[in-house]
């Protein structure tokens, strides 16, 4: 039976080089990956809440008060991806990398102190250079047809697997280190995963699963950049903003150097020195070039005493809420901010200590959701054998 790359090469009139296949996760160099935009600058110049706090707010009394109430956070969403270099392919005497990915997006719900799977997507995708569409006309139709043909292969049908999409990546943006072809291919798969996250939130809203007593906690940032491809109705936050009325984003990792005080001076030490069970004031964040005119309320919460963690930022999470209608003018209700923060603090136990190096920043229902999503991946050996 022909392998995937043999089918792709024949179908797109390319030359497959059958190069070494590997997972990018297994060769990655040590680095710090932030959940938010690493280049952004955020100032506490303008408050995004109804009470303009000037110092940290102690949330512990409220957290203790509500600890026996039904949790505000009912749904937990996590998206992840595994990407692989599967080949090199030539078009018009130029060689391009071929990157494949497994995408997992899952949502779990909590009922009566137990976790259940609410929804799950597992999608297989293949990133090819845009040069594989020889005439360059109607990429959507061209790559959809290639995907259909690929899914009819004997090997995929025998294994009952299907590829959700073949995604073209641009070959015209290669001008510096971060725009290497492989990085552009990986970015196209990341964008596909983000679209799947947006789609899942839209489905939860359509089915009326979310509300003021049933928030969704999304693992990671809500700062979705404007996309140039994918579903038209999901490309910009402006179009889907109201889907996020009952959604908060909680980032385990963030760039502390991006925070400046109202005078324009760096204040990462303010976050590092945040007392345990306290939150910062809520800052208003706008980035029209990256996010359009959607505004965010952003604050930080310390979940664990820094004397018991390895670095000053361990035990601190970044929280985001998209500002809705009246909130843009008046700010988010500070009582709502406090209630959300108290619920997050109450999620700090039990911990996943020893099972994840990010244990100090993990919330256990998120850890369980993330573990479930990753458990549904096809093994790397089986996946690479397809090519």
Percent of the chain with pLDDT over 70: 90
Higher pLDDT, 233 or 121: 121
Q: 13-17, 37-41, 325-329 — which is least confidently predicted?
A: 37-41
Asked if pLDDT for residue 40 goes beyond 80, the answer is no
Q: What is the DSSP letter of 254?
A: -
Whole-number Å distance between alpha carbons of 157 and 162 = 8
In this prediction, residue 180 has a pLDDT band, given cuts at 50, 70 and 90, of confident
Angle between helices 139-151 and 4-12 (to 10 degrees): 140
- Domain assignment of residue 368, given as a range: 4-27+42-385
Residue at 159 is within a domain = yes
Q: What is the DSSP letter of 168?
A: E
Asked if pLDDT for residue 120 goes beyond 60, the answer is yes
Asked if pLDDT for residue 176 goes beyond 60, the answer is no
Residue at 206 is within a domain = yes
Output the average pLDDT for the chain. 88
Residue at 36 is within a domain = no
Q: What is the DSSP string of 106-127?
A: EEEEEETTEEEEEEEEEEEEEE
How much is the pLDDT for 239? 81
Q: 101-115, 171-185, 231-245 — which is least confidently predicted?
A: 171-185
Residue at 187 is within a domain = yes
Higher pLDDT, 326 or 355: 326
Residue at 35 is within a domain = no
How much is the pLDDT for 32? 37
Query: On the CB side of 4, how many CA atoms lie within 13 Å of its CA?
Result: 28
Q: What is the DSSP letter of 303?
A: -
How much is the pLDDT for 313? 86
For the stretch 134-150, pLDDT in tens is 877 888 899 999 999 99
Asked if pLDDT for residue 259 goes beyond 80, the answer is no
Strands 94-111, 73-91: pairing kind: antiparallel
| Average pLDDT value for residue range 201-205 | 96
Segment (H or E) for 87? strand 73-91
Asked if pLDDT for residue 187 goes beyond 80, the answer is yes
In this prediction, residue 33 has a pLDDT band, given cuts at 50, 70 and 90, of very low
Segment (H or E) for 105? strand 94-111
Asked if pLDDT for residue 31 goes beyond 70, the answer is no
Longest dimension (CA), the chain: 68
Residue at 349 is within a domain = yes
How much is the pLDDT for 354? 76
How much is the pLDDT for 44? 58
Residue at 81 is within a domain = yes
How much is the pLDDT for 308? 78
Total count of domains within the chain:
1
How much is the pLDDT for 268? 75
Residue at 37 is within a domain = no
For the stretch 338-364, pLDDT in tens is 999 999 999 998 888 878 888 888 899
Asked if pLDDT for residue 30 goes beyond 50, the answer is no
Q: 21-35, 101-115, 341-355 — which is least confidently predicted?
A: 21-35
Is-contact 122 78, C-beta < 8 A? Answer: no
In this prediction, residue 264 has a pLDDT band, given cuts at 50, 70 and 90, of low
């Amino acid at each position: 039976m022909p392998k995937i790359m043999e089918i792709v090469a024949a179908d797109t009139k390319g030359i497959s080089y059958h190069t070494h296949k590997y997972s990018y996760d297994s060769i990655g160099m040590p680095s710090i990956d932030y959940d938010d935009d690493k280049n952004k600058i955020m100032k506490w110049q303008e408050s995004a809440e109804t009470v303009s706090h000037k110092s940290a707010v102690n949330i512990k009394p409220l957290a203790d008060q509500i600890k026996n109430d039904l949790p505000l956070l009912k749904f937990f969403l996590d998206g992840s991806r595994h990407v692989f270099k599967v080949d090199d392919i030539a078009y018009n005497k130029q060689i391009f990398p071929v990157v494949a990915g497994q995408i997992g997006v899952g949502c779990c719900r909590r009922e009566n102190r137990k976790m259940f799977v609410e929804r799950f997507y597992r999608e297989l995708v293949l990133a090819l250079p845009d040069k594989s569409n020889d005439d360059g006309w109607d990429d959507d139709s061209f790559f959809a047809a290639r995907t259909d043909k690929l899914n009819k292969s004997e090997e995929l049908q025998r294994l009952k697997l299907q590829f959700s999409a073949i995604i073209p990546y641009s070959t015209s943006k290669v001008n510096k280190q971060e725009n290497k072809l492989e990085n552009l291919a990986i970015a196209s798969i990341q964008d596909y995963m983000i679209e799947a996250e947006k789609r899942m939130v839209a489905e939860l809203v359509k089915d009326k699963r979310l509300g003021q007593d049933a928030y969704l906690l999304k693992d990671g940032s809500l700062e979705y950049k404007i996309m140039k491809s994918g579903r038209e109705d999901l490309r910009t936050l402006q179009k889907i903003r109201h889907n996020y009325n009952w959604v908060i984003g909680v980032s385990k990792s963030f760039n502390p150097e991006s925070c400046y005080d109202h005078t324009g001076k760096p204040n990462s030490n303010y976050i590092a020195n945040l007392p345990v069970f306290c939150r910062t004031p809520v800052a208003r964040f706008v980035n029209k070039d990256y996010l359009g005119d959607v505004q965010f309320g952003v604050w930080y919460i310390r979940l664990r005493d820094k004397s018991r963690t390895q670095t000053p930022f361990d035990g601190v999470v970044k929280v985001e809420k998209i500002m809705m209608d009246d909130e843009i003018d008046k700010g988010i209700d500070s009582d709502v901010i406090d209630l959300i923060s108290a619920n997050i603090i109450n999620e700090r136990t039990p911990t996943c200590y020893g099972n994840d190096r990010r244990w100090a920043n993990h919330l256990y229902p998120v850890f369980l959701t993330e573990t479930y999503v990753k458990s549904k991946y096809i093994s790397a050996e089986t996946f690479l054998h397809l090519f």
